[in-house]
Amino acid sequence: VTDAVDSDDRPREWAPELPLRTQRLLLREHRMTDLDDLAVFHGDERTTRYLPWPVRSRDDTRTALLKKLSQHRAQAEGDWLVLAIEEASSGRVIGEVDLRRGRPGHAEIGYVVRRDAEGKGLASEAVRELLRLAAEEFGVTTVVARIVPGNEASVRFAERHGFVRDAEGDSLDPENPTLAYRWTR
Ligand SMILES: CC(C)(COP(=O)(O)OP(=O)(O)OC[C@H]1O[C@@H](n2cnc3c(N)ncnc32)[C@H](O)[C@@H]1OP(=O)(O)O)[C@@H](O)C(=O)NCCC(=O)NCCS
């Protein structure tokens, strides 16, 4: 399988039709009105501990949210698709899932849910849908998760979703070491 292409052979933009719906969730673009919800987990030291994010004040969260507003499509290699996870029953944004576009057939994944949404299978529901989208819509066959050493919750989560350790993909950057886990379709 190769990356989906237009008839002129240029890779097509990753622009999913939103929202994507699962049993309990909507995956959708971010909106400025999500600020209150985002401030909850962007400002949570425990949730952000292993993320490449600082703990954010409300103002910093607003700045981060501004960038996310347009990231519901990924045009070029290296671009992140960033989707809000909305809980259908409450309308609250409880987290986000991300898919970074790599070379054709490849992507990197990211996921986070706020603390009081953990342990309910909600993150799993979102990630299953994102992997389906990547494979079916974008022709992705290999997805990497980069996990900071010590983030055992994320390792267990990745393994439950079929990711396997890929030591060759590790980043040894002393400033930002990460362990690679790989999913293949
Ligand atoms: C990693 C992370 C997304 C995992 O979230 P999670 O809620 O534990 O994951 P799941 O959605 O798979 O939920 C599984 C848990 O819900 C329970 N559960 C309850 N109802 C469930 C249901 N209907 N379906 C599936 N699981 C259910 C499972 O038993 C499991 O509990 P356990 O961990 O005690 O065994 C979350 O810990 C997180 O956001 N961490 C902070 C951000 C982060 O570090 N991200 C990763 C960066 S690489």
At 51-106, the pLDDT tens digits run 999 999 999 999 999 999 999 999 999 999 999 999 999 999 999 999 999 999 99
Tens-place pLDDT, residues 19-41: 999 999 999 999 999 999 999 99
Rounded to whole angstroms, the Cα distance separating 103 from 183 reads 15
Average pLDDT, the chain: 95
Predicted local confidence at residue 12, as pLDDT = 85
pLDDT at position 1 is 45
CA-angle at 98, arms to 171 and 150, nearest 5°: 40
**Which of 124, 152, 155 has most ligand 1 atoms within 8 Å of CB, for mutation?**
124
Q: pTM for the complete prediction? A: 0.95
Output the pLDDT for position 10: 59
DSSP 8-state code for residue 178: B
- Ligand 1, atom 33: closest residue by C-alpha: 119
* For the chain, percent of residues with pLDDT exceeding 70: 94
The residue whose CB lies within 8 Å of the most ligand 1 atoms, and thus the one to mutate among 87, 118, 125, is 118
- For ligand 1, atom 35, which residue shows the shortest CA distance? 119
Compute CA distances 125 → 20, 23, 53, 128, 157, whole Å: 11, 8, 23, 5, 12
